[in-house]
Amino acid sequence: MKSIKTLFFTLALLLISTVAFGQTKTEWKEQKDFHKVMSQTFHPAEEGNLQPIKARSAELADKAAAWKKSEIPADIKDKKALKKSLNKLCKDSKKLNKSVKKGMSDKDLIAQLSLLHDTFHTIVGLCNAKEDNHDH
């Protein structure tokens, strides 16, 4: 029963993520690069397989740093909130990488990765809240 719930939850997140990315007008390479690594590490961790995140935590931190340094698309509505969330993503990605290197427990790694995943989805939401260019 638990695996069915986990599968349903994973599929729901995948669907939400797919829909969210489909709504983005602007192509943001660094966002897609980060998402690819996040997806390939987070979803196995949900199933108890932490090998991908343990092997790729430095890559995830590098992708977060590249995303933070990249130019924010012009049609993003709340650039200040986005910058704040990208800073958090970058900081927490580095923290996760350090935790992996220190041999932190799997339970704590999953908790950190889950928080990082939540921050990622906050950023996706901010990316989809576009400027309203209506003339009134």
Q: pLDDT tens-digit profile of 73-100?
A: 999 999 999 999 999 999 999 999 999 9
pLDDT digits (tens, 9 = 90+) for 10-51: 555 544 554 444 444 567 999 999 999 999 999 999 999 999
DSSP labels for 83-133? HHHHHHHHHHHHHHHHHHHHT--HHHHHHHHHHHHHHHHHHHHHHHSB---
Task: Tell me the one-letter amino acid at 29.
Answer: K
Residue 70 is given by DSSP the state S
**Domains assigned to the chain:** 2-128 (1.20.120)
